[in-house]
């Protein structure tokens, strides 16, 4: 499989720009065999996490064998991080007309071009909606006006276009999903807004823009009344898989499709690389890390997770995965004009090996860092009276204070390297079993 991943991260982020939304990420998963192309869009509304964690998992853990899947997991990045529907007003009402002065202009314009691309055969826009859709009124939660648990179409058919029978396609997905619900009342239904005739507001939406450009499109809405993020994500992924089956897109995934495995994937936050000389594993990171070596400006933050973001607040650098703030980095500012990229380390008395900054190594019992002229080594959480640089000495893992660990299990520790007044880089030492 050929995989192209295009990341558009915010680099050297100071404070979140209030005049312009951050750019979204784009992934292209291309199969070895030619086939149809599905465009999956998530995160148009920042307070609908089922709509952005599902495409993030799709981008990371799926392999396409036949056909193509294009993925935008975070169309509205700033609103996702603040967990608001739209901090620049509702992005899903800007597809008929949008001012060049609108903070969402760049993102809306760019996604429009992707939608209109001749290679795109079908578009899904992912949401969480309120309540549970029912054809007949039952109560304030279960009723015909609810959006949750629906496959939303703007019209029944799009004539003379492949996959234009939207009503039939969504009913096929509905039938399949309703056979494997976690709770019976989570039933999905098809909701036809008849946008062209009955819904003037919906005429400004992303899916109707696609329809007017002869592109089949639907919205998948899980319910906001379902509080379990893993369950909403499970329903979203299952719906996307059902659509891929209809389109003849062949795929594999690296996990079993069940609630337990989806929950694991939702909580896998990946890694954050900083300034190309240090890295943090985010799954089990401490909620606060003190004295993190950073530059005063133009720091470079790179996430492996599609929803990773950095926001600089008054107390430091906040690390987000989607709407979840998982850590706060309190900075210790340094110059980083250093020509060293690695250090020689002996792990458990084995031969020395060159270990690059920004990597993780494992020592069951002890380690030793080979000294260099003019270089100072600092193992955070270890101290010995009279020792300035903690190199050329065996340090046992049990000697390091667990209160200074990077992770909540007190297993991973920081080995920092300095030259003169410059920070060179960090290596993470993990206590092995």
User: What is the block-wise mean pLDDT of the chain (433 residues), using blocks of 10 residues?
Assistant: 44 48 98 98 98 98 98 98 98 97 98 98 98 96 97 96 98 97 97 91 96 98 98 98 98 97 98 97 97 97 98 96 98 96 98 97 97 97 95 97 97 97 97 90
| Per-residue model confidence (pLDDT) at position 71 | 98
Domain chopping of the chain, boundaries: 2-266, 271-333, 342-431
Compute the radius of gyration of the chain from its Cα atoms.
25
Question: Considering only the top CATH level, what class is 2-266?
Answer: alpha beta
Element (H, E) at 197: helix 195-198
The burial class, CB within 10 Å (0-12 / 13-18 / 19+), for 197 is exposed
CA dihedral 113, 116, 120, 124 (to 10 degrees): 80
Element (H, E) at 58: helix 50-61
Tokens describing residue 64: 């396409």
| Per-residue model confidence (pLDDT) at position 16 | 41
64, 134, 391 from 248: Cα distances, Å: 11, 30, 59
Tokens describing residue 167: 């009503």
First-to-last C-alpha distance (Å) of the chain: 36
Residues 6+ apart with CB under 8 A from 86: 45, 46, 76, 79, 92, 104
* Rounded Cα distance, 181 and 304, in Å: 31
């Amino acid at each position: 499989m050929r995989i192209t991943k295009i990341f558009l991260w915010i680099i050297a982020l100071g404070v979140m720009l209030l005049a312009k939304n951050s750019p979204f990420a784009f992934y292209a998963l291309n199969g070895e065999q030619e086939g149809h192309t599905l465009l999956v869009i998530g995160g148009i509304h920042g307070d609908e996490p089922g709509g952005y964690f599902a495409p993030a998992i799709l981008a990371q853990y799926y392999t396409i064998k036949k056909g193509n899947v294009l993925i935008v997991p975070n169309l509205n990045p700033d609103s996702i991080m603040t967990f608001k529907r739209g901090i620049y007003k509702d992005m899903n009402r800007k597809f008929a007309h949008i001012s060049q002065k609108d903070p969402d202009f760049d993102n809306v314009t760019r996604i429009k071009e992707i939608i209109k691309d001749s290679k795109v055969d079908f578009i899904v826009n992912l949401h969480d909606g309120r309540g549970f859709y029912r054809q007949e009124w039952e109560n304030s939660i279960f009723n015909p006006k609810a959006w949750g648990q629906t496959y939303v179409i703007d019209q029944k058919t799009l004539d003379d276009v492949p996959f234009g029978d939207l009503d039939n396609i969504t009913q096929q997905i509905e039938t399949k999903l309703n056979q494997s619900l976690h709770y019976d009342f989570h039933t999905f239904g098809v909701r036809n807004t008849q946008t062209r005739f009955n819904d003037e507001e919906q005429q400004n939406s992303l899916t109707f823009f696609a329809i007017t450009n002869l592109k089949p499109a639907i919205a998948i809405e899980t319910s906001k009344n379902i509080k379990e993020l893993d369950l909403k994500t499970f329903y979203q992924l299952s719906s996307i898989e059902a659509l891929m089956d209809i389109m003849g897109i062949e795929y594999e995934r690296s996990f079993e499709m069940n609630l337990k495995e989806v929950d694991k994937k939702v909580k896998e936050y990946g890694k954050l690389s900083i300034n190309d000389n240090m890295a943090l594993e985010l799954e089990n990171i401490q909620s606060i890390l003190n004295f993190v070596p950073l530059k005063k400006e133009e720091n470079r933050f790179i996430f492996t997770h599609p929803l990773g973001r950095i926001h600089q607040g008054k107390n430091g650098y906040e690390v987000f995965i989607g709407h979840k703030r998982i850590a706060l980095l309190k900075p210790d500012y340094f110059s980083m004009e250093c020509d060293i990229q690695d250090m020689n380390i002996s792990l458990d008395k084995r031969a020395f090996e060159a270990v690059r900054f920004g990597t993780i190594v494992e020592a069951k019992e002890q380690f030793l860092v080979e000294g260099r002229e003019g270089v100072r080594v600092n193992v955070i959480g270890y101290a010995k009276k009279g020792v300035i640089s903690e190199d050329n000495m065996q340090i046992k893992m049990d000697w390091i204070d667990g209160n200074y660990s990077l992770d909540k299990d007190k297993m991973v520790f920081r080995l920092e390297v300095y030259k003169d007044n410059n920070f060179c880089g960090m290596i993470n030492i993990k206590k092995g079993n």
